[in-house]
Amino acid sequence: MKDIKTILAERSTGSTITAKGWARTKRDTKNAIFVELYDGSCFTGLQCVFDAGSMSEATATALARTTTGAALAVTGTLVDSPAAGQPVELKATALEVIGECPADSYPLQKKAHSLEFLREIAHLRPRTNTIGAAARMRDEMAYAVHTFYHDRGFKYVHTPIITASDCEGAGEMFQTTTLDLDAIAKHGGPVDYSKDFFGKKAFLSVSGQLNVETYCMALGKVYTFGPTFRAENSNTTRHLAEFWMIEPEIAFAELPDDMELAEDFVKHLLSWALDKCSEDMAFFEKRVQPGLIEMLDSVRSKKFAHMTYTDAVAELEKHKDSFEFKPFWGCDLQTEHERYLSETVIGGPVIVTDYPKELKAFYMRLNEDGKTVRAMDVLVPRIGEIIGGSEREYRYDVLVANMKAKGLDPAAYWWYLDLRRFGSAPHAGFGLGFERLLRYVTGIENIRDVIPFPRAVKQADF
RNA sequence: UCCCCUGUAGCUCAGUUGGCAGAGCAAGUGGCUGUUAACCACUGGGUCCGUGGUUCAAAUCCGCGCGGGGGAGCCA
């Protein structure tokens, strides 16, 4: 059996085919009944036409049971469509209702639903145009990620999801345990983690970076792409408690190499979306965010601007009246600052580099000035920060000093420090939030609508 | 964690100064010479989020609770 994407692509008119899928809509006229069949293989459905005058009684009965959402098998002849709207259609001769879908209780109707409502029926929402298209785009973008790195000789490394070290202090962590918390609560005594599964405290990973650096120092060019967990109490359209992150790491590389990789990567992903997902992208353009395609197209053809943090702050200080938080050297760039830089100052993507060391993580390479580190953030219009990365500190003594300055115990990072003791080399990498990329590409505002089952504060249903 | 908005039919929302619960879409029925989120007509459909209070009278005003959304912070 061919899926609808194949049927529509082949257009083998005159052939007899059976298509299986679900009814999106049924439209009645006196002489003909139209059923739009979709199977998820592509955005467009297959129009099935039933001749009211010549259909069998069995088909008429099945048609009466056909409602929005019903699972169907339709057999007929593929013909050129006499009407506008679709090049071919299925002139149906037989219809089987595989699974009924009672119209009076089925939550999805042939009308537009709000994304808020659809979140409450996450098990049914992939059947809608918007969420279905987002799901196909998610698949394509994941494939594009692997294609990009594989074609460049990067090795895909699976870093652990469970970790016993508070890696980079990148955020609040979820603790994992097999201890009986109810029993411990009854006793009221201190918790003995030596009796826990790993013999010590364990958490879900907030980043694969530290682990992937070990393989970077062995395989040269590596990346991770996996789930990441942050237990932060944040309730926004761009945060999840469980999200997917891509983290490449390249050996014998410095910050300019890292920036070049990030730019190539973003452009590869945008090109993939625009060139290979045009049908779904056309839907996002039409129904989700008009202007989306032109905006993405301009980004992929434009050289990313570069700017140091110091220059960025100087630029922001010229317009300080337009900000709630007044910018000054040493301040963390607020969302309003980031968007102003990319949207107003540059009018496109901009990479901001060389941030004050106090603002960034311990593993970033210290500059000669002793005040800034070789960090980079890629800022894009509408979204703000989409990539954060840096050249890593590969000098043992400087790294240890950085850790101490940030109140970290070097002994806890003994294996990470070993990378600097044995054959250390400059290396760099970055992290890209996969769902943030999907927000950017699809135009869907809320991050909870670009992941099948969102996990956020007080939200772990389905 | 902080600030703001919001909760009324299956969905999206209106509801005036506190005075009989409304519309569009969806559903059901009928019509329509090929429809494209079809169209036209009719019909059915309500714990006004919950709870306590003010009042002759509360969807409407007040307190508390719960849910949803947006923004900030944190970050990817």
Q: What is the DSSP string of A122-168?
A: TTTGGGSHHHHHHHHHHHHHHHHHHHHHHHTTPEE----SEESS--S
Question: Bridge-partner residues for A247, per DSSP?
Answer: A224
Distance CA A15, CA A426 (A): 62
User: In Å, what is the separation between the CA of A106 and the C1' of B52?
Assistant: 37
Burial tier of A326 (Cβ tally within 10 Å: 0-12, 13-18, 19+)? exposed
A258 closest CA partner among A347, A413, A373, A424: A373
User: In Å, what is the separation between the CA of A116 and the C1' of B68?
Assistant: 8
Query: Which chain B positions come under 7 Å from a protein C-beta?
Result: 1-2, 10-13, 25-28, 31-39, 67-76
Q: Which two tokens stand for residue A348?
A: 């496109």
**Number of CB atoms found within 10 A of residue A185's CB:** 8
Provide the pLDDT for residue A382: 84
Provide the pLDDT for residue A170: 58
User: In Å, what is the separation between the CA of A45 and the C1' of B70?
Assistant: 35
Q: Which nucleotide is nearest to A118 (CA to C1')?
A: B11
A19 closest CA partner among A33, A1, A36, A44: A1
Map residue A69 onto helix, strand or coil.
coil
Which residues in A390-419 are b (16+ Cβ under 10 Å) and which e?
A: bbbbbeeeebbebbeeeebebeebeebbeb
Provide the pLDDT for residue A187: 83
C-alpha distance from residue A400 to each of A293, A363, A386, A403 (Å): 47, 9, 29, 5
User: In Å, what is the separation between the CA of A61 and the C1' of B43?
Assistant: 24
User: In Å, what is the separation between the CA of A234 and the C1' of B54?
Assistant: 38
Q: Which nucleotide is nearest to A81 (CA to C1')?
A: B34
Provide the pLDDT for residue A169: 57
Residues of chain A with confidence (pLDDT) below 70: 166-171
Q: Which nucleotide is nearest to A436 (CA to C1')?
A: B76
DSSP A456: B
